[in-house]
Amino acid sequence: MSLLDHLQAKLNAIGAQSLTRSLRRADSGTSPRQTVNGRELLMFCSNDYLGLAAEPAIAEALADGARRWGGGSGASPLVSGHSAAHEAVAETLSRWYAPHIPDARAIGFCTGYMANLAVVTALGDEHTEIFSEQLNHASLIDAARLAKARVTRFPHADLSALRAALAASTAQVRLIVTDAVFSMDGDLAPLPGLLALAEEFDAWLIVDDAHGFGVLGKTGRGSLEHFGLTSERLILVGTLGKAAGLAGAFVAAHATVVEYLLQAARNFIFSTASPPAVEHALLTSLELIEGPLGAARRANLVARQAQLRDGLLALIARHPALGWRLPDAATPIQPLIVGGNAEVMALAAALEAAGLRVPGIRPPTVAAGTARLRITLCGTHTAADVDALLMALERAAAAQEMAA
């Protein structure tokens, strides 16, 4: 069989399940109002939770960084790619996490996917057992597959199942790995309980805070600040392409852990460092996150979350026959669970026809029968924006009820 025939057969099978994905072309920058395929839409789908991607100060800092540093970094960090701008970002983040991780040090990566691969494969050696939460992000799942460690999965947010698995473990080193905010459900991992188990069973807790960084905590430091956690056993992965509005990621952990990543993480050692201009702009982003602008955007997010949840719960109550559900989620990720794949795609299409973009999420990204609209809020959405979404959903719900 030729490769092309082989691939076409697989593409046909994806199409037959209505699971074909396609690219949309953005014709303007990320913001609640974005031109997509030539048409302006009100967006409820980006992870730019604070609206910083569109913040003029960030664009200015990026331009200033490019004038100062030029284009790319030219090499991997240990060769010549590590600039003063990279160092300043790492030092700022080390300071941010010092209250949460004794002897904290931070190390940068180009993406969160890379940071997760680094930390899980470098620490997950043959002497280690990884305890992986069921709903972890694909990058953590891939990282665990690549690691030499034995991998044990535990059910979502199930501390007693994890306790039993830890108690049964005979590995020399135990790593608990979890998302802090689950990306398709918006709920928070029970981090205090997970950390208590780590302390009890001499395990380490790797927390992927991709959706908490910038959003949670009084000064936006994420889930560790939100829960007020402090422990040497915490290994935090934060991403800088979501709420920070730029690109990149970091690991903050005890200095010995970070030193080991620098020596042993193959995708840190053998990959070109991020452009220094991006690092230069990240310094501005970090200042904005912890300053008054960040605080105001976080306060607006909380208000819009409450407005959206109140509206969705009232809508669900008006249309019980549709069987829609809104699980508890105290984050900007609000999943409206619709159930069927065809229903959710029809709903997303109806919203798009009305000028709103909310992605439908289907299996295998989520469990069968729980297809959903993944609504994400941004700190620059207005009350009128959320009302527009609620009104469009009300019209779509009425139409689906009539059709049923």
Ligand X SMILES: *Cc1c(COP(=O)(O)O)cnc(C)c1O
Tokens 């904290």 correspond to 104
Residue 177 and residue 251 in contact, taking contact as beta carbons nearer than 8 Å: no
223 counts as binding ligand X under rule CB under 6 A: no
Q: In terms of CB distance, is 237 or 393 closer to ligand X?
A: 237
Q: In terms of CB distance, is 304 or 374 closer to ligand X?
A: 374
Minimum gap (Å) between residue 351 Cβ and ligand X: 23
82 counts as binding ligand X under rule CB under 6 A: no
Residue 397 and residue 388 in contact, taking contact as beta carbons nearer than 8 Å: no
- How many CA within 13 A on the CB side of residue 197? 23
Which residues, 242 to 281, sit near ligand X by CB under 6 A?
A: 249
Compute the CA torsion angle 150, 152, 157, 159 (nearest 10 deg). Answer: -90
Could you tell me how many residues of this chain bind ligand X (CB under 6 A)?
Answer: 14
Q: In terms of CB distance, is 241 or 276 closer to ligand X?
A: 241
Minimum gap (Å) between residue 47 Cβ and ligand X: 7
Closest alpha carbon to 351 in 385, 322, 398, 392: 392
Minimum gap (Å) between residue 310 Cβ and ligand X: 26
Minimum gap (Å) between residue 114 Cβ and ligand X: 7
Minimum gap (Å) between residue 113 Cβ and ligand X: 4
Q: How far apart are CA 173 and CA 175, in angstroms?
A: 7
Closest alpha carbon to 381 in 40, 42, 55: 42
Tokens 């200015």 correspond to 60
Minimum gap (Å) between residue 141 Cβ and ligand X: 10
Among 73, 94, 178, 239, binds ligand X (CB under 6 A): 239
Among 73, 121, 139, 400, binds ligand X (CB under 6 A): 139
Decide: helix, strand or coil at residue 43: strand
Q: Applying CB under 6 A, which residues contact ligand X?
A: 111-113, 116, 137, 139, 179, 183, 208, 210-211, 239, 241, 249
